[in-house]
């Protein structure tokens, strides 16, 4: 078995100030198979209070991300990313067999009764919605030969 990556000196400096779960997380991130010690390698070995607070703040953010990633935390994320990159390197498409489709929608004329009814209904759920706007370009890599997002209405 490979030896664990050493904890960078700037991380070792704050280890006593971390919670047990934070120590476990950063140790796992620095060790194989994660090998993410570069995240901490530029930290100064001796911290001022301001440096220490900034270091702990980053570790708190990492801990939050670790808790929010549903399949294995940050270690699962790293593993999944590496697997997807390897598939990409081999030319494998993780979406093989899927057929992209333009979703059915409905067009409304602004100001009509139907528009007002649907808008009122939609506004009730607006705070529970998430919106994603994909980066530009075509979707050829996904097997779709058209633009990914098209609007028939001008927006300000």
| Model pLDDT, residue 6 | 82
Tell me, letter by letter, the H, E, C secondary structure of 52-88. HHHHHHHHHHHHHHHHHCCCCHHHHHHHHHHHHHHHH
Mean pLDDT of 63-88: 94
Report the SS3 class of residue 103. coil
Q: Using the predicted structure, report yes or no on whether residue 41 has a pLDDT greater than 80.
A: yes
DSSP string over 27-44: HHHHSTTT--GGGTTTS-
Average pLDDT over residues 27-53: 91
Name all contacts of 145-149 with Cβ < 8 Å and 24+ positions apart: 146/102
- Give the per-residue pLDDT at 63: 97
User: What tokens does 20 get?
Assistant: 């047990």
| Spatial CA neighbour of 143 closest among 91, 82, 76, 96 | 96
The pLDDT of residue 105 is: 82
Residues 22, 36, 73: CA angle, nearest 5 degrees: 50
Confidence at residue 77, expressed as pLDDT on a 0 to 100 scale? 96
**Is the pLDDT confidence value at 28 over 60?**
yes
Query: Cα–Cα distance between 53 and 139 in angstroms, integer?
Result: 44
Residue 4 is predicted with a pLDDT of 47
- pLDDT recorded at residue 152: 63
Backbone angles phi, psi at 19, to 5 degrees: -75, 160
Mean pLDDT of all residues belonging to the chain: 86
pLDDT tens sequence across 78-124: 999 999 899 988 989 888 888 877 778 888 888 999 999 999 999 99
Q: Measured at the alpha carbon of residue 133, what is the angle toward residues 128 and 139, in degrees to the nearest 5?
A: 135
pLDDT at 102: 73
> Hunting for tokens 């994909």 — which residue is that?
134
Of 64-68, 84-88, 131-135, 152-156, the range with the lowest mean pLDDT is: 152-156
For the cut 80, the answer to whether the pLDDT of residue 2 exceeds it is no
């Amino acid at each position: 078995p490979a030896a664990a990556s050493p904890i960078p000196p700037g991380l070792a400096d704050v280890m006593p100030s971390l919670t047990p779960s934070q120590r476990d997380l950063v140790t796992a991130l620095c060790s194989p198979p994660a090998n993410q010690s570069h995240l901490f390698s530029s930290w100064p070995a001796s911290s001022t209070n301001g440096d220490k607070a900034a270091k702990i703040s980053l570790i708190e953010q990492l801990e939050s991300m670790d808790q929010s990633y549903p399949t294995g935390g940050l270690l699962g994320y790293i593993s999944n990313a590496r697997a997807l990159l390897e598939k990409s390197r081999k030319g494998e498409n993780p979406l093989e067999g899927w057929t992209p489709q333009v979703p059915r929608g409905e067009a409304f004329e602004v100001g009509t009764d139907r528009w007002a009814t649907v808008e009122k209904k939609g506004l009730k759920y607006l705070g529970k919605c998430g919106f994603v706007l994909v980066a530009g370009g075509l979707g050829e890599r996904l097997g779709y030969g058209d633009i990914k997002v098209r609007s028939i209405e001008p927006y300000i």
